[in-house]
Amino acid sequence: MLEIKNLCVSMDKKVLLKDINLVIQDGARHRLAGHNGSGKSTLVNTIAGDSDYIIDSGTITFNGKDITKENATTRALMGIFLGAQNVPEIPGLTILSFLKHSMAAHKHFETGKDLSMGEFLEKLDTAREKLNIPKEWLNRYVNVGFSGGERKRIMLLRLLLLQPKLAILDEPDSGADKVVQKQIIDIINSMPKTTFLFISHQDNFSSAIKITETTTLSNGKIVIQ
């Protein structure tokens, strides 16, 4: 699913990742571990295509294609989903509009066809009811006025609607109460066709997801165990 070779990453001329070699198998539940500042968030954001991080050397291959120089939009359309730890507020853009445009872009990229409003609303209602998300949330602006747990539920809604090939979740359990944490665990366990790469400091959460492999980082390098 994902292969990283000899990856070195910097920001503002400061080296953040050094010689990262990592393989994520198709269908894996792969955990990134390590202390704060070890490079975990830098790695997942680099995989997702965040332009703030400069790839100095190395390659990232996704589903057999070199995506090292692809931008974040292309990577997302190819099936890489990022559930970031700190998500921005977008005043003026409703959740309904955001989800509709996102799904339409993915369908057109994958099939060349347009997404009908009927198809969108049917899938949206199914996913929303599964997460017990009130319908009135859809007319609110993206992440504006939402609590940490509510933002996680909106992230899960996006995840269910897009059904990505690779879902990268940066501390999905952070800021979520036990009810939302259980929702996150249940959704991940209900998506066997999606490969997950996630960061978590909670062993109980990781155990519930039934992780298949753990990679530990320290000071921008992978710890050989």
Q: Where do the domains of the chain lie, and which CATH numbers do they carry?
A: 2-222 (3.40.50.300)
pLDDT at 225: 65
Along the 225 residues of the chain, how does pLDDT read in single tens digits? 999 999 999 999 899 999 999 999 999 999 999 988 899 999 999 999 999 999 999 999 999 999 999 999 999 999 999 998 777 889 999 999 999 999 999 999 999 999 999 999 999 999 999 999 999 999 999 999 998 888 989 999 999 999 999 999 998 877 777 888 888 899 999 999 999 999 987 778 888 888 999 999 999 999 976
Residues 6+ apart with CB under 8 A from 183: 131, 152, 153, 156
The predicted model scores a pTM of 0.91
Provide the pLDDT for residue 67.
Answer: 97
The CB density around residue 191, as the number of other CB atoms within 10 Å, is 15
Burial of 93 by CB count in 10 Å (0-12 exposed, 13-18 middle, 19+ buried)? Answer: middle
What confidence score (pLDDT) does residue 203 get? 79
pLDDT the model gives residue 181: 86
Give the chain as a DSSP string: -EEEEEEEEEETTEEEEEEEEEEE-TT-EEEEE--TTSSHHHHHHHHHT-TTSEEEEEEEEETTEE-TT--HHHHHHHTEEEE-SSPPPEEEEEHHHHHHHHHHHHHHHHHS-PPPHHHHHHHHHHHHHHTT--GGGGGSEETTT--HHHHHHHHHHHHHHH--SEEEEESTTTT--HHHHHHHHHHHHT-TTSEEEEE-S-HHHHHHHT-SEEEEEETTEEPP-
- Residue 19 has what pLDDT? 95
List, in order, residues 6 or more apart from 165 with CB less than 8 Å away: 1, 63, 78, 79, 80, 194, 195
